[in-house]
Amino acid sequence: MPPSFSALGQPVPQDEGPDKVSGKALYAADLMLPGMLWGKVLRSPYPHANILSIDTARAKQVPAVHAVLTGQDLPDRRVGRLLRDIPVLARDRVLFIGEKVAAVAAETPEAAQQAIDLIEVEYEERQPVYDPLEAMASAAPTLHPRMTDYEGLPQPPSTVNNVFAHNTWSKGNLEEGFGAADLIFEHTFNAQLMHQGYMEPHACVVHIDGDGRAQVWANNKGPFMLRDQLAAVWDMPKEQIRVNPTSIGGDFGGKGSFMDVPLCYYLALHAGRPVKMVMDYIQELMAGNPRHPAVMTLKTGVTQDGRIVAHQVRIVFNSGAYGAFKPRVFIGGADHSGGPYQIPHVQIDSYMVYTNNVPCGHMRSPGKPQVAFAVESHMDMLAKELGLDPYEFRMHNILKDGGTTPVGDTLQHIRAEETLRQAAEAANWGRTAKQPNVGVGIAISDQAQGAGQSSASVTIDPSGEVKLFMSLWDTGTGAHTIMRQIVAETLTLPPDRVTLVMQDTDAIPFESGPGGTRVTYTSGQAAFGAAQDLRDKLLAVAAEVLDTPVDQLNLSGGRIGTVGEAQRSMALEEVVQHAASPSGQPFRGEMSVTSTRPDMTSFCAQVAEVAVDPDTGQVTVNKIISAHDVGTIMNPLTHQGQIEGGMIQGLGYGVMEEIMTEDGQISTLSLGDYKLPTVNDIPELVTVLLDPGPGPAPYQSKGIGESSNIPVAVAIANAVADAVGVRITDLPVTAEKVFAGVQALGEPVVHGR
């Protein structure tokens, strides 16, 4: 870090840490209000069926029950983050096992469950479709016959059966590109259904206060977007809804969804009492909003010397029964299916498809781990066919400054080549002897900062207390700490002099919230701008007091002083005291930001080393090296935490995590069956950080939150192929798949590089 930095570059512990470990932090499930009831839901046992009748008479007779609702008791409206296609309660049909059919509010969870068990529903089963490729066929049942009426549907609507979003990206002339190729290869890859694995399940409380306003507490990271969704489905002005801050126990992309909040309101309305709803992990795995499965076919033309000249991709995302949980309707990671390579001719088609499976949403770097698995496996396979080293093949085609991405974007400060090189050097790539059944695999990806809106205000009072006011929910990443450090650095104060004050949705018009690697970039600009505004106001006052032009003043160490021989200075609180108003109002700086997507991205290259037991197929990941293209590192403690956490999450995706389904029925309905990595699974983790380069966020910083989980799975798959010659094209890389591959090969072959 440059020596001029005082608050940045310091390993400042996260703000919320003490409250969380002491139990003081308030989560949505902790909230208790006078007269509060408990809400529970009856879910469909069928993947696709008509609802013929619902009998709630016996449920209503249960003592302590205050409300029993079906879809017929609610307005016929649908809800969604952008595409509004899911009913609050199913009305005439259910489209997946776990869809909400009826709901109860009672004085105890036990009474609510008793009432749920007494509700009788008569169904008429209909033909389901689970495979997204089959769902696209004209003969498949159309799951949403009224799709074109849905608000938020991309225009023009797709004409392919059950496809609600079809996106294309292209560059050059594909026919010309394939015509120039010496060799053409085509491979298909499959990625699995994966849950975010946050510790805290979805929970919410809704109270309709004496003024008729809906007071909401929910573990939702995008409270302003949630408020807009609720206003639409409840048909009320958004000013009638206040979303109150609560702690969030993990997110990884999954806590942006409305989940039970719309239904909780209707239970509170009908019962005349506050209502709390908390999902358990059975419901999370059955009806949450997991990462999308995908079927990805890549066709690539190359020259004999290893230059990629044409690249065609078809990605089919299995969205499940609804698209309501996606903030952009489609999964943006598909536009990265050309990888960080220089390819003159590209065509990418991405399809979001309705099926009778659990509806999917967003998970850390949405779409990109799936796409990276396909692209980087494909690159290794091309290199093998050409007889080239996988690292050298990538270096031959890697994106460089002056080139355009596979979708035609022009980026500045491209550091892909350097990132890839440093990962390979850290792994001693090509410089170590090949050991039997031990392999290494390499992969690279990139992650740009997302755009959004944010607002901040910074105050300082006569005692020198600095407060940062924001409506930015922290999902556990340390975002609040980073915002404090930005303000402290701008005012040349230590971070402990700055306190962040969380505000509810009444405080400002809008805040995009965490997601898309945008917090430091977007919210950071707001905090930085507000601190600059306050600094400028303080300098103006100090100029009068010190009788010195502003351009002859210097701010350092929390003091404003004159420049030159006769130096005089004042502490910031002294400046405030000189200008204090009779009302004692603190000085305030403010900033609202609407950011645009920056013209630079950050790269991550990873090398995995694995050992494979050919007698069992067991894969042991020995080491993962993760090299990162970084800017200024605001907080090395939280920065490293994001890198290592992402690596472990990518490890789970690569070798063990999968929501297993059969005929729409999920069989992994507990964390005993759905395997998450534990401390015993974690290999040696090595981080390589490039020298800081330019960054789009304040103080030349870059986002880090989503980068490190993207290439892990494919680096492992490539390492397995290097170890025993078995190419796994369907995630996760399990012992069963590897063993079957070894058996198909006959005697294990020691593969060199």
Asked whether residue 622 falls in the same domain as residue 751, the answer is yes
Mean pLDDT of 146-153: 96
For 548-669, where are the alpha helices, taking DSSP H only? Answer: 572-579, 636-655
Residue with tokens 């109002």: 585
pLDDT tens digit sequence for 386-399: 999 999 999 999 99
Does a structural domain hold residue 357?
no
Domain assignment present for 246: yes
Contact 516, 574 (CB under 8 A): no
The Cα 603–Cα 365 span in angstroms is 13
pLDDT at 16 exceeding the cut of 90: no
Q: Which of 568, 594, 620 is the last residue of a domain?
A: 594
Amino acid sitting at position 414:
I
Q: First-to-last CA distance in the chain?
A: 38
What the block records as the tokens of 440 is 């290494």
Cα separation, 357 vs 664, in Å, equals: 5
CB-based burial label for 117 (10 Å; 0-12, 13-18, 19+)? middle
pLDDT tens digits for range 259-315: 999 999 999 999 999 999 999 999 999 999 999 999 999 999 999 999 999 999 999
> Using 50, 70 and 90 to split pLDDT, how confident is the model at 582?
low
Specify if 251 maps to a domain. yes
Of 405, 326, 383, 397, the C-alpha closest to 85 is 326
Residues 559 and 681 in one domain: no
159: its two tokens: 């004409």
**590 lies in the same domain as 616:** no
Please check whether residues 696 and 721 belong to one and the same domain. Answer: yes
CA distance 603 to 688: 12
pLDDT tens digits along 630-654: 999 999 999 999 999 999 999 999 9
Beta-carbon count within 10 A of 242 CB = 18
Task: Of 151, 340, 156, give the one whose Cα is nearest residue 232.
Answer: 151
* C-beta separation of 441 from 727 below 8 A: no
| Chosen domain end from 550, 579, 594 | 594
DSSP assignment of 158-205 equals P-STTEEEEEEEEES-HHHHHHT-SEEEEEEEEE--B----SSPPEEE
**pLDDT (tens digit per residue) in 169-221:** 999 999 999 999 999 999 999 999 999 999 999 999 999 999 999 999 999 99
The pLDDT assigned to 204 comes to 98
Token output for 608 = 């995995």
Residues 85 and 220 in one domain: yes
Contact 88, 266 (CB under 8 A): yes
Closest by alpha carbon to 520, among 410, 603, 595, 604?
595
The pLDDT of residue 583 is 62
Residue with tokens 């809800």: 79
Other CB atoms within a 10 A radius of the CB of residue 113 amount to 16
Q: What is the pLDDT of residue 565?
A: 67
Q: Across the strands, what pairs with 352? A: 165, 317
Specify the amino acid at residue 626.
S
Same domain, 535 and 571: yes
In terms of Cβ atoms closer than 10 Å to its own Cβ (0-12, 13-18, 19+), residue 283 is: buried
User: Is 482 inside a domain boundary?
Assistant: yes
With 80 as the cut, is the pLDDT of residue 585 above it? no
pLDDT tens digits for range 308-366 = 999 999 999 999 999 999 988 998 899 999 999 999 999 999 999 999 999 999 999 99
**Buried residues in 390-402 as b, exposed as e (16+ CB within 10 A):** bbebbebbbbeee
Answer yes or no: do 546 and 676 share one domain: no
Backbone angles phi, psi at 227, to 5 degrees: -60, -40
Are residue 570 and residue 650 in the same domain, yes or no? no
User: Which residues make Cβ contacts (< 8 Å) with residue 17, sequence separation at least 6?
Assistant: none
Residue finishing a domain among 287, 317, 334:
287
3-state secondary structure of 336: helix
Kindly state whether residues 573 and 614 are assigned to the same domain: no
Residue 747 has pLDDT above 70, yes or no: no
User: Domain with 501 in it: what CATH number?
Assistant: 3.30.365.10
Please state, as a whole number, how many other Cβ atoms lie within 10 Å of the Cβ of residue 550: 12
Q: What is the mean pLDDT of the chain?
A: 95
- Same-domain pairing of 589 and 629: no
Name the pTM for this structure.
0.96
pLDDT in tens, 519-549: 999 999 999 999 999 999 999 999 999 999 9
Residue with tokens 């798949």: 737
Phi then psi for residue 560, to 5 deg, are: -105, 125
Considering only 33-37, 224-228, 247-251, 746-750, which range has the smallest mean pLDDT?
746-750
Kindly state whether residue 278 falls inside one of the protein's structural domains: yes
Predicted pLDDT at 567: 83
* Domain-embedded: residue 629: yes
Token digits of residue 197: 């694995």
- Both tokens of 719, joined, read 């390492």
In the block, tokens 């008479």 appear at 57
Going edge to edge, which strands form the sheet with 183-191? 163-171, 345-354, 308-320, 294-302, 183-191
Q: What is the model's pLDDT at position 579?
A: 79
For 31, 322, 382, 733, 734, the CA distances from 729, given in Å and listed in that order, are 46, 27, 14, 9, 11
> Which tens digit of pLDDT belongs to each residue from 479-488?
999 999 999 9
* Domain presence at residue 133: no
Q: Give me the domain span that covers residue 563.
A: 17-24+451-594
Number of other residues whose CB lies within 10 A of the CB of residue 209: 10
Which pLDDT score, from 0 to 100, does residue 2 have?
46
Alpha helices in 361-517 (DSSP H): 368-386, 390-397, 416-426, 479-490
Strand-pair category, 183-191 with 294-302: antiparallel
Query: Which of 5, 69, 79 has the alpha carbon at shortest distance from 493?
Result: 5
- pLDDT tens digits for 82-101? 999 999 999 999 999 999 99
Q: In this structure, how many other beta carbons lie within 10 angstroms of the beta carbon of residue 752? A: 8
CA–CA distance, 389 with 722 (Å, rounded to integer): 11
Rounded mean pLDDT, 680-696: 97
Where would I find the H helices in 464-571?
Answer: 479-490, 524-545
Sign of the Cα torsion 677, 680, 681, 685 reads positive
183-191/203-208 β-pairing: unpaired
Q: Are residues 659 and 747 in the same domain?
A: yes
Structure tokens at 639: 């920065």
Is 424 a residue whose pLDDT tops 50? yes
Same domain, yes or no, for 547 and 653? no
As given in the structure block, the two tokens for residue 64 are 């302590």
* Res. 4: pLDDT tops 90: no
Q: What is the CATH number of the domain that holds 209?
A: 3.90.1170.50
Residue 386 counted as domain residue: no
Total domains present in the chain: 3
Q: What DSSP element (H or E) covers 228?
A: helix 223-234
